[in-house]
Chains A and B, each alone.
Chain A
Amino acid sequence: KAGVTQTPRYLIKTRGQQVTLSCSPISGHRSVSWYQQTPGQGLQFLFEYFSETQRNKGNFPGRFSGRQFSNSRSEMNVSTLELGDSALYLCASSYGNEKLFFGSGTQLSVL
Protein backbone atom coordinates (compact mmCIF):
# COMPACT_ATOMS: atom_id res chain seq x y z
CA LYS A 1 0.00 0.00 0.00
CA ALA A 2 1.48 3.37 -0.97
CA GLY A 3 2.06 5.86 1.82
CA VAL A 4 1.06 9.49 2.05
CA THR A 5 2.49 11.35 -0.94
CA GLN A 6 3.27 15.05 -0.88
CA THR A 7 4.36 17.21 -3.80
CA PRO A 8 6.51 19.06 -4.41
CA ARG A 9 9.25 18.05 -1.99
CA TYR A 10 11.00 21.40 -2.13
CA LEU A 11 9.79 24.86 -3.06
CA ILE A 12 11.42 28.27 -3.12
CA LYS A 13 9.22 31.36 -3.30
CA THR A 14 9.60 35.07 -2.68
CA ARG A 15 7.65 37.25 -0.29
CA GLY A 16 4.19 38.18 -1.51
CA GLN A 17 3.79 35.17 -3.77
CA GLN A 18 1.32 32.38 -3.17
CA VAL A 19 1.91 28.64 -3.08
CA THR A 20 -0.14 25.45 -3.39
CA LEU A 21 0.96 22.18 -1.83
CA SER A 22 -0.56 18.80 -2.65
CA CYS A 23 -1.20 15.69 -0.58
CA SER A 24 -2.43 12.25 -1.64
CA PRO A 25 -3.53 10.16 1.35
CA ILE A 26 -3.19 6.44 1.81
CA SER A 27 -5.83 4.62 -0.21
CA GLY A 28 -9.03 4.32 1.81
CA HIS A 29 -8.14 7.13 4.23
CA ARG A 30 -10.70 9.91 4.18
CA SER A 31 -9.23 12.22 6.81
CA VAL A 32 -6.35 14.50 5.87
CA SER A 33 -4.57 16.86 8.28
CA TRP A 34 -1.94 19.50 7.64
CA TYR A 35 0.84 20.59 9.98
CA GLN A 36 3.54 23.24 9.90
CA GLN A 37 6.90 22.32 11.43
CA THR A 38 9.52 24.94 12.33
CA PRO A 39 12.59 24.66 14.56
CA GLY A 40 11.17 27.16 17.04
CA GLN A 41 7.54 26.10 17.27
CA GLY A 42 7.69 22.41 16.45
CA LEU A 43 4.69 20.81 14.77
CA GLN A 44 1.56 22.95 14.74
CA PHE A 45 -1.84 21.91 13.45
CA LEU A 46 -3.21 23.84 10.49
CA PHE A 47 -6.48 22.10 9.57
CA GLU A 48 -8.18 18.74 9.03
CA TYR A 49 -10.52 17.65 6.25
CA PHE A 50 -12.92 14.74 6.04
CA SER A 51 -15.18 14.02 3.07
CA GLU A 52 -14.38 17.40 1.52
CA THR A 53 -15.36 19.30 4.70
CA GLN A 54 -13.04 21.13 7.05
CA ARG A 55 -13.72 19.68 10.50
CA ASN A 56 -10.99 21.33 12.56
CA LYS A 57 -8.83 24.40 12.19
CA GLY A 58 -5.76 25.58 14.07
CA ASN A 59 -4.70 29.08 14.98
CA PHE A 60 -3.27 30.28 11.71
CA PRO A 61 -4.18 33.43 9.76
CA GLY A 62 -6.63 33.34 6.89
CA ARG A 63 -3.74 33.34 4.41
CA PHE A 64 -3.58 29.62 5.07
CA SER A 65 -6.39 27.69 3.43
CA GLY A 66 -7.06 24.21 2.20
CA ARG A 67 -9.49 21.98 0.44
CA GLN A 68 -10.17 18.32 -0.13
CA PHE A 69 -11.41 16.67 -3.28
CA SER A 70 -13.87 13.81 -3.71
CA ASN A 71 -10.98 11.34 -4.07
CA SER A 72 -9.66 12.50 -0.64
CA ARG A 73 -6.64 14.24 -2.14
CA SER A 74 -6.01 17.56 -0.46
CA GLU A 75 -4.31 20.84 -1.23
CA MET A 76 -3.26 23.67 0.99
CA ASN A 77 -2.66 27.20 -0.18
CA VAL A 78 -0.70 30.02 1.39
CA SER A 79 -1.24 33.47 -0.05
CA THR A 80 0.90 36.57 0.35
CA LEU A 81 3.88 34.61 1.61
CA GLU A 82 5.94 35.97 4.50
CA LEU A 83 9.48 35.06 5.52
CA GLY A 84 8.06 33.38 8.62
CA ASP A 85 6.13 30.92 6.48
CA SER A 86 9.38 29.10 5.71
CA ALA A 87 8.82 25.66 7.18
CA LEU A 88 8.31 21.97 6.56
CA TYR A 89 4.63 21.38 5.74
CA LEU A 90 3.50 17.89 6.67
CA CYS A 91 0.35 16.14 5.59
CA ALA A 92 -1.10 13.17 7.44
CA SER A 93 -3.96 10.82 6.70
CA SER A 94 -5.96 8.48 8.87
CA TYR A 95 -8.75 5.92 8.68
CA GLY A 96 -11.55 6.67 11.09
CA ASN A 97 -10.23 7.59 14.52
CA GLU A 98 -6.98 5.72 14.11
CA LYS A 99 -3.42 7.03 14.22
CA LEU A 100 -2.07 9.52 11.71
CA PHE A 101 0.30 8.46 8.96
CA PHE A 102 2.57 11.28 7.82
CA GLY A 103 4.05 12.10 4.45
CA SER A 104 7.63 13.29 3.92
CA GLY A 105 6.55 16.89 3.69
CA THR A 106 7.15 19.88 1.47
CA GLN A 107 10.08 22.08 2.49
CA LEU A 108 9.07 25.66 1.71
CA SER A 109 11.64 28.44 1.69
CA VAL A 110 10.45 32.04 1.38
CA LEU A 111 13.10 34.55 0.30
Chain B
Amino acid sequence: EDKVVQSPLSLVVHEGDTVTLNCSYEVTNFRSLLWYKQEKKAPTFLFMLTSSGIEKKSGRLSSILDKKELFSILNITATQTGDSAVYLCAVELVGSQGNLIFGKGTKLSVKP
Protein backbone atom coordinates (compact mmCIF):
# COMPACT_ATOMS: atom_id res chain seq x y z
CA GLU B 1 0.00 0.00 0.00
CA ASP B 2 1.31 3.44 -0.94
CA LYS B 3 1.99 5.64 2.07
CA VAL B 4 3.50 8.96 3.08
CA VAL B 5 4.68 9.54 6.66
CA GLN B 6 5.51 12.92 8.12
CA SER B 7 7.37 13.68 11.31
CA PRO B 8 7.08 15.19 13.77
CA LEU B 9 3.30 15.46 13.94
CA SER B 10 3.58 18.71 15.86
CA LEU B 11 6.32 21.13 16.75
CA VAL B 12 6.51 24.25 18.91
CA VAL B 13 9.39 26.67 18.37
CA HIS B 14 10.21 30.30 19.10
CA GLU B 15 10.58 33.06 16.55
CA GLY B 16 14.02 32.98 14.98
CA ASP B 17 14.48 29.24 15.34
CA THR B 18 15.26 26.97 12.37
CA VAL B 19 13.04 23.94 11.84
CA THR B 20 13.31 20.82 9.74
CA LEU B 21 10.20 18.88 8.77
CA ASN B 22 10.49 15.33 7.50
CA CYS B 23 8.58 13.34 4.93
CA SER B 24 9.25 9.71 3.99
CA TYR B 25 7.36 7.70 1.42
CA GLU B 26 6.82 4.18 0.19
CA VAL B 27 5.04 4.22 -3.15
CA THR B 28 5.02 2.49 -6.50
CA ASN B 29 5.74 4.58 -9.58
CA PHE B 30 6.87 7.83 -7.99
CA ARG B 31 6.45 10.94 -10.12
CA SER B 32 6.86 13.93 -7.79
CA LEU B 33 6.75 15.07 -4.18
CA LEU B 34 4.96 18.26 -3.19
CA TRP B 35 4.86 20.41 -0.08
CA TYR B 36 1.83 22.49 0.85
CA LYS B 37 1.12 24.93 3.71
CA GLN B 38 -2.36 24.88 5.25
CA GLU B 39 -3.14 27.80 7.53
CA LYS B 40 -6.90 27.76 7.65
CA LYS B 41 -8.58 25.77 4.94
CA ALA B 42 -6.95 26.05 1.49
CA PRO B 43 -3.57 24.32 1.21
CA THR B 44 -1.17 26.61 -0.64
CA PHE B 45 1.62 25.25 -2.81
CA LEU B 46 5.22 25.54 -1.65
CA PHE B 47 7.44 23.20 -3.68
CA MET B 48 7.35 20.42 -6.22
CA LEU B 49 10.37 18.09 -6.28
CA THR B 50 11.09 15.52 -8.93
CA SER B 51 14.88 15.11 -8.92
CA SER B 52 17.16 13.98 -6.14
CA GLY B 53 19.66 16.33 -4.57
CA ILE B 54 18.44 19.57 -6.12
CA GLU B 55 17.48 22.05 -3.45
CA LYS B 56 14.53 24.32 -4.11
CA LYS B 57 14.41 27.64 -2.26
CA SER B 58 11.84 30.32 -1.72
CA GLY B 59 12.85 32.99 0.75
CA ARG B 60 13.40 31.36 4.14
CA LEU B 61 11.99 28.03 2.98
CA SER B 62 13.93 25.31 1.21
CA SER B 63 13.36 21.67 0.38
CA ILE B 64 15.29 18.73 -1.00
CA LEU B 65 14.42 15.23 -2.17
CA ASP B 66 16.38 11.99 -1.77
CA LYS B 67 14.91 9.40 -4.15
CA LYS B 68 17.34 6.71 -3.04
CA GLU B 69 16.39 6.92 0.64
CA LEU B 70 12.78 7.89 -0.19
CA PHE B 71 12.45 11.05 1.85
CA SER B 72 12.28 14.80 1.66
CA ILE B 73 12.88 17.59 4.15
CA LEU B 74 11.44 21.07 4.39
CA ASN B 75 13.60 23.65 6.16
CA ILE B 76 12.38 26.96 7.50
CA THR B 77 15.02 29.37 8.79
CA ALA B 78 14.46 32.39 11.04
CA THR B 79 10.89 31.32 11.74
CA GLN B 80 8.15 33.93 12.18
CA THR B 81 4.73 33.67 13.81
CA GLY B 82 3.24 33.76 10.30
CA ASP B 83 4.89 30.41 9.61
CA SER B 84 2.47 28.77 12.07
CA ALA B 85 0.47 26.29 10.00
CA VAL B 86 0.11 22.64 9.09
CA TYR B 87 2.70 21.59 6.52
CA LEU B 88 1.55 18.82 4.23
CA CYS B 89 3.71 16.50 2.18
CA ALA B 90 2.18 14.68 -0.78
CA VAL B 91 3.37 12.27 -3.43
CA GLU B 92 2.05 12.01 -6.97
CA LEU B 93 2.30 8.73 -8.83
CA VAL B 94 2.88 8.25 -12.54
CA GLY B 95 -0.42 7.99 -14.36
CA SER B 96 -2.45 9.28 -11.39
CA GLN B 97 -3.05 12.87 -12.36
CA GLY B 98 -4.80 14.80 -9.61
CA ASN B 99 -4.44 11.95 -7.13
CA LEU B 100 -2.00 13.00 -4.43
CA ILE B 101 -1.18 10.73 -1.49
CA PHE B 102 -0.90 12.99 1.53
CA GLY B 103 0.85 12.54 4.83
CA LYS B 104 -0.98 13.50 8.03
CA GLY B 105 0.90 16.79 8.21
CA THR B 106 3.17 18.54 10.70
CA LYS B 107 1.53 21.22 12.82
CA LEU B 108 4.07 23.99 13.40
CA SER B 109 3.47 26.60 16.10
CA VAL B 110 5.86 29.54 16.25
CA LYS B 111 5.71 31.48 19.51
CA PRO B 112 6.81 35.13 19.73
Residues in A lying within 8 Å of B, measured CB to CB: 3-4, 31-33, 35, 42-45, 48, 50, 55-56, 58, 88, 90, 92, 94, 97, 99-105, 107
A101, closest chain B residue (CB) = B45
Q: Which 4 A-B pairs have the closest CB atoms?
A: A48-B98, A33-B98, A43-B102, A104-B41
Rounded to whole Å, the gap between the CB of B11 and the closest CB of chain A is 17
Contact code string B92-109 (vs A, CB < 8 Å = 1, else 0)? 000011111111110000
B81 at the interface (CB under 8 A from A): no
Q: Which residue of B lies closest to A3 (CB)?
A: B42
Bitwise interface map of B from 40 to 82 toward A, beta carbon under 8 Å scored 1, else 0: 1111110010000000000000000000000000000000000
* Contact call B103/A42, Cβ cutoff below 8 A: yes
Q: How many residues of B contact A (CB 8 A)?
A: 21
Give which listed residue, A42, A55, A104, contacts B97 with CB less than 8 A: A55
Determine the residue in chain B with the shortest Cβ distance to A103: B42
CA distance A43 to B99 in the complex (A): 11
- Given the known A-B contacts A42-B104, A88-B41, are A99 and B98 also in contact in the complex, defined by CB atoms under 8 Å? no
Q: Would A45 and B99 count as touching, CB distance under 8 A?
A: yes
Known contacts A90-B43, A102-B42; can you find 10 more A-B pairs with CB under 8 A?
Answer: A32-B98, A48-B98, A50-B98, A56-B96, A88-B41, A92-B98, A100-B34, A100-B45, A100-B100, A102-B44
Tell me the bound Cα distance from A32 to B97 in angstroms.
10
Set of chain A residues within 8 Å of B45, measured between Cβ atoms: 99-101
Interface residue B88 (Cβ < 8 Å from any Cβ of A) = yes
Known: A42-B103, A42-B104, A43-B88. A102 touches B98 (CB 8 A): no
Q: What separation, in Å, do the CA atoms of A95 and B105 have in the docked complex?
A: 25
Q: Contact at A90–B42, with CB atoms within 8 Å?
A: yes
Closest to B105 in A: A42
Contact flag A58-B34 (CB < 8 Å), given A88-B41, A102-B43, A102-B44? no
